[in-house]
Amino acid sequence: MNYSVCFEDKRIGFTRTAPSPEPGVAVLEGGVPLSIAKVLQIVENNKELRIISSDPGRDFDAFCNLFARVEAAGGLVTDAGGRVLLIFRNGRWDLPKGHLEPGESPETCALREVEEETGVRVAATGGWLVHTLHFYQWHGVWTLKRCWWYRMDAGEGCGRLAPQREEGITRAEWVGPARLPELLSGSFRSIREVFVRAGYLDRE
């Protein structure tokens, strides 16, 4: 879905055509102003909301304009054995990421955040992977975060794992692909989207 945004484990998508009925998927006709409160009320008891619109891009932009905006970047890091670097933050498995600093490029931010949050130093990315969008409430302000995700390969001497505990990270681990579906089942939807794009998980 080209126009979608996540909230915790939910997804809100904007599309031209009505989907076939699916359990846990609510459908709403677009073309009328949306409020954050209305969207939250609908997704409370559903895993997904699809908004049908003659102009999905227009309605998607209008919804995104309800939020304050922040930019972030992070990395999907693999080692020579094909394992993926995960962190455990605030009770969920996650990927290292963080906000862009003033004047910082997304790629530089992603490399910096990986090192700060895990102790792993990567000299360069393997290229941009995907953007994710998710919204949350921060100090009473509804905020929309766009995160730039990059592939990264960790070579020899990349540093020992050192989770950044002051950021709520209690573990940093190299995880084999076979364990990813189980560990990521409780992760935020936007994080699972990164693994879908990278080919580790099936599309939900």
Closest listed residue to residue 11, CA positions, set 49, 40, 63, 66: 49
- The whole-number pLDDT of residue 19 equals 78
Q: Pick from 11, 38, 64: which residue ends a domain?
A: 64
Residue 1 has pLDDT above 70, yes or no: no
Closest listed residue to residue 121, CA positions, set 133, 130, 112: 112
Instruction: Give the chain's mean pLDDT.
Output: 93
Distance in angstroms (rounded) separating the CA atoms of residues 103 and 183: 35
CATH number (domain holding residue 114)? 3.90.79.10
Average pLDDT value for residue range 42-70: 94
- pLDDT tens for 121-161 read 998 899 999 999 999 999 999 999 999 999 999 977 677 89
Pair (43, 83) in one structural domain: no
Q: Would you say residue 131 lies in a domain?
A: yes
Pair (56, 129) in one structural domain: no
- The whole-number pLDDT of residue 184 equals 97
- The whole-number pLDDT of residue 157 equals 65
Pair (85, 41) in one structural domain: no
Q: Would you say residue 151 lies in a domain?
A: yes
Average pLDDT value for residue range 166-179: 96
> 142 Cβ partners below 8 Å, 6+ apart?
36, 66, 67, 68, 135, 136
Domain region containing 19: 3-64
Rg (CA), the chain: 18
Indicate the number of domains in the chain: 2
